[in-house]
Amino acid sequence: MRIGAGLAALLAAERGTAMLWAPVALGAGIAVYFRLLVEPGAPALGLLTAFAALGFLAALRTGIGALALPAMVSLGVLLSAGQTERVRAPVLDGSYRGAILGRVVHLDRSASNAPRITLDRVYLPGWAPAATPGRVRVSHSGHIGQGALRPGARVALRGWIAAPNPPVEPWDFDFRRHAWFAGIGAVGYTRDPVVLARDAVDHSLATRIFALRLRISAAIRARLPGAQGGFAAAILTGDRSAIDPSDLDALRASNLAHLLAISGLHMGLLTGFLFAALRIALALFPRLAMRLPAKKLAALVALLGGLFYLALSGASVATQRAFIMAAVALGAILIDRPALTLRAVALAALIVLFVHPVSLLGPGFQMSFAATAALVATYERLGRLRLPERLRAPAWRPLRWVFALVLTSAVAGLATAPFSAFHFNAVARFGLLANVGAVPAMGLLVMPAAVAAGLLLPLGLDGPAFAVMGAGIGHILGVAHWIAGLEGARWHIPAGPPLALSLISLGGVMVIVMRGPLRLGGIVALAVALLFWATTPRPDVLIAEDGRLVGVQGPGARALSAARGNRFAARVWLENDGRGASVDTAYLRPPLHRAAEAVTGGLPAGHELYWTGAKTVSATACREKMLVIAPAWTERPVGKCVFIGREALWQGGAHAIRIDPGGKLHIATVGAASGDRPWTQAGRE
Q: What is the pLDDT of residue 458?
A: 75
Band (437; pLDDT cuts 50, 70, 90):
confident
Q: What is the pLDDT of residue 291?
A: 76
Q: What is the pLDDT of residue 683?
A: 58
Taking residues 349-372, what's their average pLDDT?
89
The CATH number of domain 95-202 is 2.40.300: no
Taking residues 266-272, what's their average pLDDT?
79
Burial of 602 (0-12, 13-18, 19+ CB in 10 A): middle
Amino acid at 218: A
Among 61-75, 186-200, 273-287, where is mean pLDDT lowest? 273-287
Residue 181 scores a pLDDT above 80: yes
d(Cα 404, Cα 415) in Å, to the nearest integer?
16
Among 71-80, 344-353, 440-449, where is mean pLDDT lowest? 440-449
pTM for the predicted model, two decimal places: 0.89
d(Cα 524, Cα 530) in Å, to the nearest integer?
10
Taking residues 290-299, what's their average pLDDT?
82
Q: What percent of the chain has pLDDT over 90?
A: 38
Q: What percent of the chain has pLDDT over 70?
A: 92
Q: What is the pLDDT of residue 389?
A: 61
Residue 1 scores a pLDDT above 60: no
Who contacts 555 (Cβ-Cβ below 8 Å, separation ≥6)?
590, 591
Residue 387 scores a pLDDT above 70: no
Band (487; pLDDT cuts 50, 70, 90):
confident
Contact, 349 vs 72, CB < 8 A? no
Question: Tell me: the pLDDT tens digits for 611-641?
Answer: 998 887 776 678 889 999 999 998 888 888 9
Q: What is the pLDDT of residue 16?
A: 66
Q: Which residues pair with 115 in a beta bridge?
A: 109
How high does pLDDT run on average in the chain?
86
User: What are the structural domain ranges in the chain?
Assistant: 12-86, 95-202, 246-357+370-394+438-486, 498-535, 541-653
Residue 7 scores a pLDDT above 60: no
Residue 668 scores a pLDDT above 90: yes
Band (361; pLDDT cuts 50, 70, 90):
very high
Name which of 60, 65, 70 is nearest 26 in CA terms: 70
Q: What is the pLDDT of residue 653?
A: 94
3-state secondary structure of 192: coil
d(Cα 592, Cα 599) in Å, to the nearest integer?
7
Residue 495 scores a pLDDT above 70: yes
Full 3-state SS string of 462-528 = CHHHHHHHHHHHHHHHHHHHHHHCCCCCEEECCCCCHHHHHHHHHHHHHHHHCCCCCHHHHHHHHHH
Q: Beginning with the edge strand found earlier in the chain, give each strand of the sheet holding 550-553 in spatial order.
A: 558-560, 550-553, 541-543, 655-659, 665-669
Question: Tell me: the pLDDT tens digits for 530-548?
Answer: 999 999 999 999 999 999 9
Band (474; pLDDT cuts 50, 70, 90):
very high
Q: What is the pLDDT of residue 292?
A: 76
Taking residues 355-370, what's their average pLDDT?
89
Q: What is the pLDDT of residue 350?
A: 92
Instruction: Rank 23-37, 145-159, 340-354, 480-494 by mean pLDDT and report only the highest.
Output: 23-37
Instruction: Rank 391-395, 488-492, 497-501, 511-515 by mean pLDDT and report only the highest.
Output: 497-501
Q: What is the pLDDT of residue 202?
A: 67
Between CA 571 and CA 578, with CA 575 as vertex, the angle to 5 degrees is 150
